[in-house]
Amino acid sequence: MKIVLATGNKGKLREFREMCDIEIIAFSDILGEMEIIEDADSFKGNALIKARTIYEKLESDEYIVISDDSGISVPLLGGEPGIYSARYAGEGASDKDNLHKLIDTISSKGVKKTSAHYTASIAIVSKYGEYVVHGWMYGDIISTSRGEKGFGYDPIFVPLGYNLTLGELDEEIKKSISHRAKALELAKPIIEILKRKF
């Protein structure tokens, strides 16, 4: 039995590896790079598409496949970018392009700070069934990028109860409060039970 992470996002892979004490293989190390069409209308739906696609491509029932679909939602923008966070600035946009699009969008509304939250949906697919868990992190986004830590929208996200962005805060703090950490806390016992079944 092996655990495979169905993500092409290096930031997610790093965080999963740092937060789990089990060996996690990147799907690309087995299957090479692959584009997966994420056309569901929810984080849960897209997480399931990614985990199911990789599970099927692996063509072996000896794997537990985990995926993460995540994003940032801004109530001022009607919940955008939400499930479109990875392509907010268009198809093929980089993290920096998306970050600057969000800064420009809130700035154009005359706002320097507004509430936002991250969502992470983690799907687990194996021969013993499919599971999905969620985690959230609430805070504000600001119109100035600060700090180099984390990835994606982290340089403008200030978690509730803090004054610094996730780009500036110690990475240990993100690992203790993040949407991904919270979803993983729910995913870990499921993975443990599944591991024992193999």
Q: Which residues are catalytic?
A: 69
Residue from the set 123, 180, 183, 194 that interacts with ligand ITT by CB under 6 A: 180
Q: Does 126 bind ligand ITT (CB under 6 A)?
A: no
Min dist. Cβ of residue 150 to ligand ITT (A): 5
Tell me which H or E stretch contains 121.
strand 113-126
Site string for ligand ITT, 17-36 (x = CB under 6 A): --------------------
- Up-side HSE of residue 20: CA atoms within 13 Å toward CB? 24
Closest CA to 195 of 22, 67, 60: 22
Q: Counting Cβ atoms within 10 Å, is residue 119 exposed (0-12), middle (13-18) or buried (19+)?
A: buried
Instruction: Please give the residues from 48 up to 107 whose contact with ligand ITT meets the rule CB under 6 A.
Output: 50, 68-72, 85-86, 95, 98
**DSSP states of 139-152 as a string?**
EEEESS---SSSST
Residue from the set 2, 8, 171, 188 that interacts with ligand ITT by CB under 6 A: 8
Q: Does 153 bind ligand ITT (CB under 6 A)?
A: yes
Closest CA to 118 of 73, 67, 177: 73
Which residue lies nearest ligand ITT, judged by its C-beta? 152
The contact set with ligand ITT (CB under 6 A) reads: 7-9, 12, 38, 50, 68-72, 85-86, 95, 98, 118, 150-154, 178, 180
